[in-house]
Amino acid sequence: MFRIAKNLVRTFEQSVQDTLAFSQDSGSLDAFFQSIPPNLLSAQLAPPAQAVPEGAKHTNMNETLAGLRIVWVDEVQCQVQSFFDYIVGFNDDPVPVVSNQHGFSYPDYQRITSMFNEHCGRTVKVNVWCAKGGTFRDEYLSVASKDSDHLDDVSLNHDERKSPSGETHQFQALGFKVQWTPLIASTFTYHILNVNIPEGPAQLAGLVPDEDYIIGCQDGLLATGGETLLQDIVRSRANHDLVLYVYNKVSDCVRPVSVHIGPDGRLGCNVGYGFLHRIPTVKQQRPQQVQQQQQQQQQQHGDAVSFPAESESAFVPSAFTAPPVVAKKKGKNKKATQPLAMDDYFNEGRDNSSAPKPTESDLPAPPPRKQPSSD
């Protein structure tokens, strides 16, 4: 039995080592990027026609693979997410790229602008790769034509007013900004494993073990990545405050965290870096799970009886108040009647057969009639 368990451990370790070796191989695509269709990467994987300097010949393919990273999103744009989403194609075609004299590729923004101008009044299929688990999806963006009454900001720089080909934007803003960034930059994350210093900087800042990932730092200090980069930055900020951008996989949100580093230059937590500590895929709850959670919450709040919602036309009696006393007018005397109380209002029409009814014996005798006098 012990030999079987030992062999299973060896098999698991070997599979992890093979996966890491496969990801680090410069001639193979990282497993994190394999969800992208190959046709969307062909433009970047194809060797350039012109000669490339020796320094760029033996570069890792995973380090040069890039996309249009979403770096800013307007509050009304809900189709893409900043930092995590990369645009890797349009209408199932790769992002048009050109190469400079040094052999490095960058987007052909003129062709991208022309493509959006041709699709004014229609939709564009945007191929998006997400760093949350390395997933791939398609989004359809509506391209609206510019309103003739809308005024745009005009730059004083002549080069920024028009592109070299004279191409101008004929469509409205899409609600996000992009930057040409390598896909490998999304893997520069540091996973919070545990807190090892009680009342330390990490605990006081509210970092949650196993749930939080450090994905950025103030002034872009973590942009280049590296296993020891976070440690070096924390040590250099001893006795100072450091702003970290932390992603939580449970709430699926990013929050800024201000950490005060002590004189020893320690963050107060263990972190993991590398293939096994990348941001996982967001788990979407099914409708059945949502209903079960709601039922559990109702049971925790008690066995309260739930009544159906009342319609707007339903009569809801409020607290009854007696009308103000009004001075009586002089005239014939009438019996004073007390205002009906709320209970009398609801008792109207009720059968009062159980109450005793007056009989003829209880009624007073009528007065005797006067006999006419005979004069």
Mean pLDDT of 352-370: 61
**Tokens 């998006």 — which residue?**
128
pLDDT digits (tens, 9 = 90+) for 16-35: 445 544 445 556 889 999 99
Domain 35-147+166-183 has CATH 2.30.42.10: yes
What does the alpha-carbon distance between residue 245 and residue 251 come to, in Å, rounded to a whole number? Answer: 14
Class of the domain covering 188-277: mainly beta
**pLDDT class of 360 with cuts at 50, 70, 90:** low
Mean pLDDT of 43-64: 64
Mean pLDDT of the chain: 78
65 token code pair: 């693979």
pTM beyond cutoff 0.85: no
Closest CA to 276 of 355, 189, 217, 208: 189
As a residue count, the chain comes to 375
Bigger pLDDT: 49 or 293?
A: 293
**Going by C-beta distance under 8 Å and a sequence separation of 6 or more, which residues neighbour residue 242?**
217, 218, 233, 234, 258, 259, 260, 261
Mean pLDDT of 40-46: 83
What does the alpha-carbon distance between residue 337 and residue 354 come to, in Å, rounded to a whole number? Answer: 24
Mean pLDDT of 328-343: 54
Residue 45: pLDDT over 60: yes
Calculate what percentage of the chain has a pLDDT beyond 70: 60
Q: β-strand 176-182 against 135-142: which pairing, if any? A: unpaired
Check residue 104 and give its pLDDT: 84
Residues β-bridged to residue 192: 271
DSSP 171: B
Same fold, 35-147+166-183 and 188-277: yes
Domain range annotation of the chain: 35-147+166-183, 188-277
Check residue 42 and give its pLDDT: 85
DSSP 227: T
Strands (E), the chain: 66-73, 85-90, 93-94, 97-99, 105-107, 123-130, 135-142, 176-182, 190-195, 212-217, 241-248, 253-260, 269-272
Helix (H) or strand (E) holding 183: none
What does the alpha-carbon distance between residue 259 and residue 263 come to, in Å, rounded to a whole number? Answer: 13
- Maximum distance among all alpha carbons in the chain? 155
